[in-house]
Structure 1
């Protein structure tokens, strides 16, 4: 496992109902109503307090046309990259590490064991790696509560698998070698793009 040294990353990972109410300029009760109706993805703490993950808040704000607050653009979102080719990992570290807190894995099984603890915002993986069924991996990540919130982007030469990958839950499918396009997709996903 390789990681980049952490820089000052003061980005909140979770937001309260009061935070979301402030972003939307609505009453706190409105946020509770939206959560109860399933309008905004959330979870509850053991004390039954509402909490919202950053990307779920971004999805909601975009869906309803709210402006993206600056606090959602701060820090370095956590991204895990999985690829069996060390040269691909090196190229992605070069392209992505300035903007993202990047952790890379060459072994897909090491990555899958670690991803539950790392709790990244996004996971980038090749759909075809030795010993790994990428489509099944995407389906399982989506079906497990502890990982269902992680957005997955497929970075692969196997464009014939694009439909299967997106049906299995991939947020995007980027052809290998298009690292700039991958960075742009991640920035859109994380709400980092500017107007």
Structure 2
């Protein structure tokens, strides 16, 4: 059983009624989101459903809904997957200036990435397309096949960046395909733009 405290310790927990008041929707609507697996939740020992603030924020961003001020801040959890350790080290260095906004985890294995995404429930994944154990496209397909992982944003990266590869990535369920070396600003924009759009609505 995964420790509930493995995510950011500042994560606040919300009941379905808290969320209904916050978003001004019926509590039954919130329950339906949870039942459909599009809003991540867990049950307390007493059987009550609770939603972490980070997961609620991810749900709102993914579905382009306005994010209330109390959810507007907080770190974005990313998982980077590449079989080459120097590439991951370079990504870590690139994200270091944004440590207050991004919590970055890395792995060199596509198989391990599939386990970590279930355990850690990151907001997004950056996945190398060319890996020996399981390639990036297959990682994307397997994650997209899991209803409860619908809110995780998938970004692929490759040193052989072509329109064909971009199209293959999108067909596999990726939001974008980026060229190596990774442009960190572009990655951050993929998480910030929906917030900006929501604020304008």
Q: Common fold, TM-score beyond 0.5?
A: yes
Select the residue among 147, 158, 168 that pairs with 1:164.
Answer: 168
Higher share in helix: 2
Q: Confirm or deny that 1:173 pairs with 2:172.
A: no
CA deviation profile, 1:112-162 (whole Å, cap 9, x unmatched): 333322222211111122232322221111113454442211122333311
- Distance of 2:169 and 2:86 partners within structure 1: 23
Judging changes above 3 Å, is the alpha-carbon distance between structure 1 residues 120 and 37 closer, same or farther for their aligned structure 2 residues?
closer
What residue is the counterpart of 2:21 in the other structure? 22
Q: Is residue 127–residue 135 contact of structure 1 (8 Å, CA) maintained in 2?
A: yes
Judging changes above 3 Å, is the alpha-carbon distance between structure 1 residues 131 and 35 closer, same or farther for their aligned structure 2 residues?
closer
CA deviation profile, 1:27-78 (whole Å, cap 9, x unmatched): 435645x74997x933675647485832123333x25xx3x22332333222
Judging changes above 3 Å, is the alpha-carbon distance between structure 1 residues 194 and 149 closer, same or farther for their aligned structure 2 residues?
closer
- Distance of 1:194 and 1:90 partners within structure 2: 34
Report the RMSD for the aligned CA atoms in angstroms: 3.6
Q: Would you say how many aligned residue pairs link Structure 1 and Structure 2?
A: 182
Q: Is residue 152–residue 170 contact of structure 1 (8 Å, CA) maintained in 2?
A: yes
Structure 2: 5+ residue stretches without partners: 1-5
What residue is the counterpart of 2:3 in the other structure? none
What residue is the counterpart of 2:76 in the other structure? 77
Per the normalisation by structure 2, the TM-score is 0.70
- Distance of 2:41 and 2:120 partners within structure 1: 20
Judging changes above 3 Å, is the alpha-carbon distance between structure 1 residues 45 and 76 closer, same or farther for their aligned structure 2 residues?
closer
* Residue correspondence of structure 1 range 83-94 to structure 2 within 5 A: 83-94=82-93
Structure 2 counterpart SS, 1:128: coil
